Amino acid sequence: MRMSEVAGDVLGKNKKIVVVSGPSIAIEVAKGLPTTLVAASRDITLASEAQDTLMCAALRVYTSTDVIGVELGGSLKNIIAIAAGMSDSLGFGTNTKAAILTRGLAEITRLGVAMGASQETFAGLSGLGDLVTTCISPYSRNRWFGEMLGKGKKADDIIKETEMVVEGVTTAKSAFELSKKYNVDMPLTREVYEIIYKNKSPKDVVKDLLLRSAKPEVY
């Protein structure tokens, strides 16, 4: 379930719910550094209310009616950040990271569109934007978790050793199951899932991903 579904389930379906998401590492927002967000609600008037309430000198808020897309971007990006973190600690460079980010965004977009989201949302702040932040920020827990995996640590041990919630761990399992349900090809998600839940080696994953058959970019 998406968070707005959980909220509707707990508070009642008729409650006015607005989803706010985007590239917003908390410590940077607290410091007043320029940050952008998306406020999404099926009711655009509600989204505009949230926009008016939150907008200030350091915070620029855009509106959207694509609740599904905004929520999925914010959660699915954590899986790709785990892959990016692995790439970092395996000693790969920015070329590899950019490839992971790009192909990662392509596969979470495919799942989102299959679930009813708009493709454009994933190219926006709550998709691409949040993905970029999470993949490059030193504060990202999911990227850090991937780094630990890349260093050869087992997922269970990393989780035991931290008090932080690493969302991408659970999300990888949900997304893997959703990819089968909606019949969507998600190679990066599948590999992250197999590393966390099936003890596959991160080094084997890189080999498997690079040695796939040659393809056109859009298929």
User: Which residue among 2, 97, 153, 173 contacts a copy of itself (CB under 8 A)?
Assistant: 97
- The site map against a copy of itself for 126-165 (x = CB under 8 A) is --xxx-xx--xx----------------------------
- Of these, 1, 3, 123, 165, which contacts a copy of itself (CB under 8 A)? 123
By the rule CB under 8 A, 215 interacts with a copy of itself: yes
The reply to whether 189 sits near a copy of itself by the rule CB under 8 A is no
At residue 91, the 3 state secondary structure works out as coil
Q: What are all long-range contacts of 62-66, with beta carbons under 8 Å and residues at least 24 apart?
A: 62/36, 62/37, 62/38, 62/124, 62/125, 63/38, 63/39, 64/38, 64/39, 64/40, 64/121, 64/124, 64/126, 65/40, 65/41, 66/40, 66/117, 66/118, 66/120, 66/121
- Catalytic position from the list 77, 151, 154, 215: 77
Asked whether the beta carbons of 20 and 36 are under 8 A apart, the reply is no
Nearer to a copy of itself, 10 or 214 (CB): 214
57 touches 82 (CB < 8 A): no
Among 10, 13, 57, 198, which residue interacts with a copy of itself (rule: CB under 8 A)? 57
Stretch near a copy of itself under the rule CB under 8 A, chosen from 12-20, 47-55, 185-193, 194-202: 47-55
Task: List the one residue out of 103, 82, 70, 81 whose CA is nearest residue 186.
Answer: 103
Among the listed residues 162, 140, 144, the one whose alpha carbon sits nearest the alpha carbon of residue 27 = 140
Q: Which residues contact a copy of itself by CB under 8 A? A: 23-25, 28-29, 31, 33-36, 38, 44, 48, 51-52, 55, 57-58, 60-64, 91-99, 101-103, 105-106, 109, 118, 120-121, 123-125, 128-130, 132-133, 136-137, 206, 210-212, 214-218
